[in-house]
Amino acid sequence: MQISANSACPCGLPHNYSQCCGRYHGGQAAPDAEALMRSRYSAYVTKDVAYLLRSWHPQTRPQTLSLDDAPGQRTQWLGLSVQRHQLTGADSAEVVFIARYRIGGGSAVKMTEHSRFERIDGQWYYLDALS
């Protein structure tokens, strides 16, 4: 999905894309784990695979990532709600969020994730999701 600089940011904060997640997609470091998580959600919405891979922790980053939809199975992202953001150490944090989406013409799905993040040399990275 293409998004303009002045469009509302997909992450749900009351800013336009360029003032919010767009700056992180463009290379600015996210100031905290919540901002990184929100920018990763926006990257899923905009299908910015390069950003998703760049913001993934080197120890858990997949070699490749595809966001291509199967025919007739387009993913439509419906919204994001951050439940909790907590520092767990000087360079670690956790974020609990709910993302809503729909695939094709199916019913909306609510996905809850408890994610872990680590800061390396001042840069936050998505580490993994707790089960």
- Residue 2 CB partners (closer than 8 Å, separation 6+): 46
Q: pLDDT value at position 2?
A: 73
Q: pLDDT value at position 10?
A: 96
Q: pLDDT value at position 3?
A: 86
Q: pLDDT value at position 110?
A: 97
Rounded Cα gap, residues 48 and 43, in angstroms: 5
Tell me, rounded to whole angstroms, the distance of Cα 30 from its chain centroid.
11
All domains in the chain, ordered by first residue = 17-130 (3.10.450.50)
Instruction: Pick out the chain residues at pLDDT < 70.
Output: 1
Q: pLDDT value at position 46?
A: 95
Rounded Cα gap, residues 67 and 13, in angstroms: 24
Q: pLDDT value at position 1?
A: 66
Tokens of 88: 């767990």
